[in-house]
Amino acid sequence: MGKLYDSLLSGTSGRTGRIVVANVFGNEITRIRPRKRTSPPSAKQILVQNRMKISLIL
């Protein structure tokens, strides 16, 4: 994650390619967008995902 100072993109947010510009609590930051998953999730990842879904419902 990078921080922008005196940015030309002041007051903007969005993405260009894999670079994402966001304004978080008044600070503009740049970060790299995560890649899309190409392989199916493992059994442990599915377990954690299901746990999170259940906790959101409760």
Q: Residue 24, SS3?
A: strand
Domain boundaries, the chain: 1-34
Question: What pLDDT is attached to residue 14?
Answer: 64
Q: What is the pLDDT of residues 1-58, one digit of tens each?
A: 555 556 555 555 566 678 777 777 877 778 888 888 899 999 999 999 999 999 988 7
Q: Please, where are the H alpha helices in the chain?
A: 43-57
pLDDT of residue 43: 96
Strands laid side by side in the 27-32 sheet:
2-3, 27-32, 19-24, 14-16
